[in-house]
Each structure stands twice: as structure tokens, then as C-alpha cells.
């Protein structure tokens, strides 16, 4: 058991593998944008990066106080029983397996979990739900969920369910950013949809029988500490602190 200091809870952030050019060589890299790091640090946490093409070790889970799932490419639809559509991009079956395993193990341990964008979709698939593979193709009347505005700018509002953790933290409505072409279709049995856009797209889910499990279809890390939704990041870090053993 490690010594718990005053540094704050340790939060594992899943990496998003990408190719980086280093000294004219293309190298596969396990990276996160610094927006995630800075947002968690501002909320009082100590972030560590979890390489998703590496092993998921029980020893690492023992050491974490919470887990954050990041954005990225699409999830392989065969994992929720569908044929892939042509609009899919960025499939990474190794990352899918790592993150699905991580979600299930974190929930078994009741580790606080915040799942952002792709992470929110991974959370749903890991627990038995399904996705809309492409909103523009499958729900052509939906809002512009791939916003033209800068990622730091909120672009559409979400209506929040009363009597939810989300409503307790941010109230009945929030304006968020939107950089996704997929969405939750059928929610997993243990997840409650708690926010929707005006077109009905599910924008947040909670697992009500856990200490803290929250999926967000938007990206709080780009909206910063002045956005009202930062209260969600702070509540997540507080839950992580309370779960420190």
C-alpha cells in the first residue's frame, strides 16, 4: 500500500495512440492532449497516462484512485453486434479491448470513472449498450454535433434530468461543445441517460448504484475551469479523493 500524501488523488487517463514524427521518423505514440492533464490538475488531481496498447495490470488499478477515459476514434461495431458502416474512422481494436476491460474492472472495484466523448461511448458498450454509428447518415435531422466553432466554444445546449447527480452539480441546463459523429443509441441497463440535446441525442449518462460513474458526450477539458461544467470535473476529483484507501 502506497503512502497517501497531500498531492491529491491519482487519476489514470487513457492514452489515445497516434503517430508522431520524431527526427524524421514516424513513431507510434501513446499520448493525451495536455487539456486533460491541465483540467485534472486544476481540479486538484495527479494524472498519470495509461498506455492502451500495453497490459492492464491489477497492480496499476490498486494504485489508482480513479479513471478517466478520453476521446478518440470509433469503437468496432462488432463489439455491440452491428456491421460496420462506411462512415467509421479511427478503429483500434487493441484500444477497444483495453478500455472495455478497464471500465468493467473499475466498476467492479467501484473506482470513480469519468468517461469523455469516445469514453462515454466505450462505457456504454462495455456495459451492454449500443451506438448510433453515424448521426449524419442514420439520424439526418440531428443537430450539428460536429461543431464548426473552436473546440473551446460551447455550441449546443443539453437539458438535464431532474434528480440526477448532473442536475445537482450544474442545474437543469448546460451549453456544451460537440465534436462527435456517433452517439449512444440503446443505453446499457445500468446506465441512466441524464442529459439530452434538443434533437434527443443522449449527451450524458450516470450509473446510479456506484460512487461516481459519469459519461459525457462533450469535452469538458476544452471548456476550462470557468465553464459551469467544470463542477463535474471537481466532483469527479472529489470522489477520487474520497475513494483513496
**Nearest approach, Cβ of residue 219 and Mn ion (Å):** 10
The Cα-based distances of 194 to 16, 157, 171 in angstroms read: 26, 13, 12
**Nearest approach, Cβ of residue 200 and Mn ion (Å):** 11
Q: Residue 173 in contact with residue 134, Cβ under 8 Å?
A: no
CB closer to Mn ion out of 120 and 145: 145
**Sites of contact with Mn ion (CB under 5 A):** 145, 178
CB closer to Mn ion out of 145 and 227: 145
**Nearest approach, Cβ of residue 203 and Mn ion (Å):** 6
Q: Is 221 a catalytic residue?
A: yes
Residue of 145, 156, 181, 219 marked active site = 219
Reduced to 3 states, what is the DSSP secondary structure of residue 222? helix
Residue spans of alpha helices (H) in the chain: 34-42, 58-63, 93-108, 118-126, 135-138, 165-170, 220-223, 230-242
CB closer to Mn ion out of 68 and 135: 135
Residue of 117, 181, 203, 206 marked active site = 117
Distance CA(230)–CA(177), nearest Å, equals: 13
Q: Is 156 a catalytic residue?
A: no
**Nearest approach, Cβ of residue 135 and Mn ion (Å):** 9
Q: Residue 40 in contact with residue 235, Cβ under 8 Å?
A: no
Comparing every residue's Cβ against Mn ion, the nearest one is 178
CB closer to Mn ion out of 139 and 210: 139
Q: Is 3 a catalytic residue?
A: no
Q: How many helices (H) and strands (E) does the chain have?
A: 8, 13
Catalytically active residues are 117, 219, 221
Amino acid at each position: 500500500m502506497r503512502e497517501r500524501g497531500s498531492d491529491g488523488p491519482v487519476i489514470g487517463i487513457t492514452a489515445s495512440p497516434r503517430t508522431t514524427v520524431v527526427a524524421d521518423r514516424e513513431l507510434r505514440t501513446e499520448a493525451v492532449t495536455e487539456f486533460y492533464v491541465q483540467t485534472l490538475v486544476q481540479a486538484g488531481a495527479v494524472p498519470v497516462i495509461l498506455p492502451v496498447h500495453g497490459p492492464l495490470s491489477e497492480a496499476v488499478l490498486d494504485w489508482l484512485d480513479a479513471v478517466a477515459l478520453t476521446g478518440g476514434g470509433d469503437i468496432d461495431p462488432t463489439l455491440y453486434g452491428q456491421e460496420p458502416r462506411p462512415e467509421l474512422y479511427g478503429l483500434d481494436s487493441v484500444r477497444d479491448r483495453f478500455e472495455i476491460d478497464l471500465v468493467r474492472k473499475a466498476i467492479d472495484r467501484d473506482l470513480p470513472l469519468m468517461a469523455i466523448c469516445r469514453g462515454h461511448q466505450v462505457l456504454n458498450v462495455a456495459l451492454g449498450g449500443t451506438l448510433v454509428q453515424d448521426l449524419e447518415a442514420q439520424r439526418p435531422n440531428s443537430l450539428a454535433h460536429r461543431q464548426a466553432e473552436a473546440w473551446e466554444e460551447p455550441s449546443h445546449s443539453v437539458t438535464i434530468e431532474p434528480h440526477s447527480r448532473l442536475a445537482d452539480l450544474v442545474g437543469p441546463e448546460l451549453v456544451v461543445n460537440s465534436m462527435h459523429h456517433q452517439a449512444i443509441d440503446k443505453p446499457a441497463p445500468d446506465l441512466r441517460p441524464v442529459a439530452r440535446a434538443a434533437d434527443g441525442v443522449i449527451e450524458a449518462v450516470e450509473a446510479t448504484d456506484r460512487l461516481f460513474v459519469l459519461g459525457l458526450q462533450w469535452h469538458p477539458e476544452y471548456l476550462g475551469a470557468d465553464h459551469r461544467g467544470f463542477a463535474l470535473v471537481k466532483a469527479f476529483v472529489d470522489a477520487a479523493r474520497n475513494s483513496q484507501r
